[in-house]
């Protein structure tokens, strides 16, 4: 009985790791990313007065992780823009969030139960991006540090580019950056990148599908809880307070 349940858990993880991300999960990723852009002060005026800058910021929010990873790995930094369908989907989301009559689309996707679903689906994409990034780095480059760095930037997305993204909007806050003040997703991406690197180099004796499944569950529950409680704290705070009192 135990064997069967473990088998089906392994199969569930395997099936889960094979669910295609495009278009539903990617759409959720774009929606949540561009909502966070709209939260930034001044972003609505920016979209009205400088639509090109606003669109570029939205693209950075959606594809910043690919741009940064391509820069690190020496590939064309606009490589991902060859996926025209993803770009069009993200552009459509940007248009609906900023220009929909009566702000209807924004109000719908910001309705908390709906938003929580999108937030959960965004984390599914994030974990998959970390895993794929580390797999790619392992095959084309060598060394632990390159694998961890690639996974980290793939998971953190636009956060590590925040100074550049702000500069594009005419905002400049040099006294802070994401590495000085890491948010929960950035920190979790770093830890996740370390775990997936250990898995890839066979130091962590679990299958990649299981790790994706477990880490996704962890990220989804944390982010949904943090979003539902409007909290900016981090589950790592307790641990960190214990290590560095």
Residues that bind a second copy (CB under 8 A): 50, 52-53, 56, 70-79, 81-84, 87, 141-146, 149, 163, 167-172, 174-177, 179-182, 190
Could you give the residue ranges of the DSSP H alpha helices within 2-143?
Answer: 2-18, 24-39, 43-49, 51-72, 84-99, 104-110, 112-140
Rounded to an integer, what distance in angstroms lies between the CA atom of residue 49 and that of residue 30? Answer: 22
Nearest approach in angstroms of CB 108 to a second copy is 26
18 or 232: CB nearest a second copy: 232
77 or 132: CB nearest a second copy: 77
28 or 86: CB nearest a second copy: 86
Nearest approach in angstroms of CB 17 to a second copy is 27
95 or 144: CB nearest a second copy: 144
Nearest approach in angstroms of CB 188 to a second copy is 14
Nearest approach in angstroms of CB 172 to a second copy is 3
Tell me the two tokens of residue 44.
């609505």
Tell me the two tokens of residue 194.
């370390």
**First-to-final CA distance of the chain:** 46
Phi-psi region for residue 42, left (φ > 0), alpha (ψ -120 to 50) or beta? left
């Amino acid at each position: 009985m135990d064997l069967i349940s473990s088998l089906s858990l392994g199969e569930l993880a395997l099936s889960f790791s094979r669910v295609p991300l495009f278009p539903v999960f990617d759409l959720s990723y774009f929606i949540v990313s561009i909502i966070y852009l709209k939260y930034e002060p001044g972003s609505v005026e920016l979209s009205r007065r400088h639509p090109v800058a606003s669109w570029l910021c939205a693209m950075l929010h959606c594809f910043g992780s690919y741009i940064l990873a391509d820069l690190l790995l020496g590939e064309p930094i606009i490589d991902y823009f060859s996926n025209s369908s993803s770009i069009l989907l993200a552009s459509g989301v940007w248009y609906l969030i900023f220009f929909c009559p009566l702000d209807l689309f924004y109000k719908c996707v910001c309705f908390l139960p709906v938003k929580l679903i999108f937030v959960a689906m965004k984390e599914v994409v994030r974990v998959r991006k970390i895993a794929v990034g580390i797999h790619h780095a392992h095959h084309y480059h060598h060394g632990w540090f390159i694998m961890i760095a690639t996974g980290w930037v793939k998971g953190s997305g636009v956060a590590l580019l925040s100074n550049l993204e702000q500069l594009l909007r005419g905002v400049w806050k040099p006294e802070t950056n994401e590495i000085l003040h890491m948010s929960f997703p950035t920190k979790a991406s770093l830890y996740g990148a370390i775990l997936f690197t250990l898995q890839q180099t066979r130091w962590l004796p679990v299958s990649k599908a299981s790790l994706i499944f477990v880490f996704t569950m962890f990220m989804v529950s944390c982010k949904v809880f943090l979003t539902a409680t409007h909290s900016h704290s981090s589950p790592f705070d307790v641990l960190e307070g214990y290590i560095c009192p």
